[in-house]
């Protein structure tokens, strides 16, 4: 496994290593967990491989319900397929971007040829080309470097996707980022369509989703600067992320824990300031042995099968969430 860092290789060398994985007759499947950063990266991968392989398809396992993500796909004409409808054996090469096989159960049995990501490095997998840079605020910044090394100027749609993705993943550079994110952001600024960016940003909540916020406000518990809330069953885990980000704006709160049940899994979203605290490490500490957990210092996520917690969906409450987390804090 090659583990690339900014210091280890030049952008041209990393690009060469990436291109060396592929042949002209390859059918390539780019697998992502669809969110703005992953979608933009997948678009960039398609551009990099356009004339170098036989075909390229983007596949994703999650249901895209967040309005801003739907708007992004529609306005920027991003073509992608649900992973469940694709036959993995039809593809000779598989690429994962903005994620790692350990992040979701659906990924764990897939053999990837390329993995490019900005999340902390996980274990238990191999790939021919690996470029993981946890110091980057966005995987899209990595893909911009690949495009520039290839001397490929992105189209307006691609530049807009990458620009928006960097905005989202760095929270407009309020979250952790590095100088490379700023350089990529500035490069894209003159190419991206800012009107399209604003249209995407203004598409956020459905009227029906306000009920989840009502539940969260009624169920939340605050203790020692930590806010806990279990929302119950949710149609999509995306609403838990929106609720966590909302509560993370409360001045007196230093930790936010938001959980919900999706299918037969417990999903927990972690938020903190990332200064003296580390959400990613805490998520792994609490749920790493029973499910999938990880993230950055200021934002993390865990997904655990209810059977692994020896609980029924109706047994889990805000009090249960508080008990699970406080003993590790």
pLDDT tens for 85-94 read 999 999 999 9
Same domain, 131 and 45: yes
Instruction: Look at residue 64 and tell me if it is in a domain.
Output: yes
Instruction: Look at residue 1 and tell me if it is in a domain.
Output: no
Q: How many domains are contained in the chain?
A: 2
| Per-residue confidence (pLDDT) for residue 9, from 0 to 100 | 63
Q: Which two tokens stand for residue 232?
A: 């119950």
Residue among 80, 121, 117, 123 at smallest CA distance from 99: 117
Same domain, 166 and 243: no
Residue among 269, 202, 210 at smallest CA distance from 68: 202
Instruction: Look at residue 186 and tell me if it is in a domain.
Output: yes
Same domain, 193 and 217: no
Same domain, 75 and 182: yes
Instruction: Look at residue 296 and tell me if it is in a domain.
Output: yes
Same domain, 278 and 316: yes
List the strands of the sheet with 265-272, edge to edge: 221-223, 226-233, 255-262, 265-272, 299-305, 292-295
> Of 201, 235, 268, which one is at a domain's C-terminal end?
201
> Of 139, 173, 201, which one is at a domain's C-terminal end?
201
Residue 108, pLDDT > 90, answer no
Tell me the pLDDT tens digit for each residue of 20-45: 999 999 999 999 999 999 999 999 99
Who contacts 151 (Cβ-Cβ below 8 Å, separation ≥6)?
none
Who contacts 186 (Cβ-Cβ below 8 Å, separation ≥6)?
none
Cβ atoms < 10 Å from Cβ of 94: 19
Instruction: Look at residue 246 and tell me if it is in a domain.
Output: yes
Same domain, 221 and 270: yes
| Per-residue confidence (pLDDT) for residue 232, from 0 to 100 | 95
Q: Which domain holds residue 313?
A: 207-326
Provide the mean pLDDT of the chain.
92
Tell me the pLDDT tens digit for each residue of 243-273: 999 999 999 999 999 999 999 899 999 999 8
Tell me the pLDDT tens digit for each residue of 38-90: 999 999 999 999 999 999 999 999 889 888 999 999 999 999 999 999 999 99
Instruction: Look at residue 5 and tell me if it is in a domain.
Output: no
| Per-residue confidence (pLDDT) for residue 112, from 0 to 100 | 97
Across residues 103-127, what is the average pLDDT? 92
Instruction: Look at residue 4 and tell me if it is in a domain.
Output: no
**Can you tell me which residue has the tokens 């399209």?**
196
Measured CA angle at 28 (ends 23, 33), to 5 deg: 145
* CA–CA distance, 184 with 175 (Å, rounded to integer): 16
* CA–CA distance, 19 with 23 (Å, rounded to integer): 9
- Percent of the chain whose pLDDT exceeds 90: 76
Same domain, 173 and 248: no
* CA–CA distance, 284 with 302 (Å, rounded to integer): 8
Taking CB atoms within 8 Å and a gap of at least 24, the contacts of 308-313 are 309/266, 311/266, 313/233, 313/261, 313/264
pTM of the model: 0.74
Instruction: Look at residue 3 and tell me if it is in a domain.
Output: no
> Of 143, 171, 201, which one is at a domain's C-terminal end?
201
Same domain, 54 and 148: yes
């Amino acid at each position: 496994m090659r583990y690339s860092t900014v210091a280890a290789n030049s952008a041209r060398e990393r690009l060469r290593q990436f291109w060396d994985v592929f042949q002209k007759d390859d059918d390539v499947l780019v697998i992502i967990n669809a969110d703005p950063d992953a979608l933009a990266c997948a678009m960039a991968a398609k551009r990099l491989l356009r004339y170098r392989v036989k075909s390229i398809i983007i596949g994703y396992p999650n249901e895209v319900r967040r309005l801003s993500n739907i708007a992004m796909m529609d306005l920027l004409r991003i073509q992608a397929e649900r992973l469940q409808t694709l036959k993995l054996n039809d593809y000779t090469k598989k690429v994962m971007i903005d994620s790692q096989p350990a992040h979701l159960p659906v990924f764990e049995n897939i053999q990837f040829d390329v993995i490019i990501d900005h999340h902390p490095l996980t274990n238990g997998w191999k790939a021919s080309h690996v470029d993981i840079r946890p110091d980057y605020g966005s995987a899209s910044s990595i893909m911009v470097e690949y495009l520039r090394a290839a001397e490929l100027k992105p189209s307006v749609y691609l530049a807009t996707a990458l620009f928006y993705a960097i905005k989202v993943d760095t929270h407009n550079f309020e979250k952790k980022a590095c100088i490379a994110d700023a350089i990529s952001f500035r490069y894209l600024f003159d190419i991206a369509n800012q009107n399209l960016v604003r249209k995407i940003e203004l598409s956020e909540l459905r009227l029906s989703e306000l009920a989840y916020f009502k539940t969260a406000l009624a169920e939340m518990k605050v203790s020692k600067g930590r806010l806990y809330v279990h929302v119950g069953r949710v149609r999509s885990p995306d609403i838990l992320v929106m609720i966590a980000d909302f509560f993370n704006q409360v001045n007196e709160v230093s930790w936010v824990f938001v959980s919900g049940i999706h299918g037969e899994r417990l999903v927990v979203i972690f938020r903190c300031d990332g200064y003296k605290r580390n959400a990613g490490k805490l998520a792994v500490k609490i749920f790493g042995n029973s499910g999938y957990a990880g993230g950055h210092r200021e934002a993390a996520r865990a997904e655990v099968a209810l059977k692994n917690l020896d609980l029924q969906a109706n047994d889990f409450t805000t009090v249960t969430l508080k008990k699970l987390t406080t003993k590790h804090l």
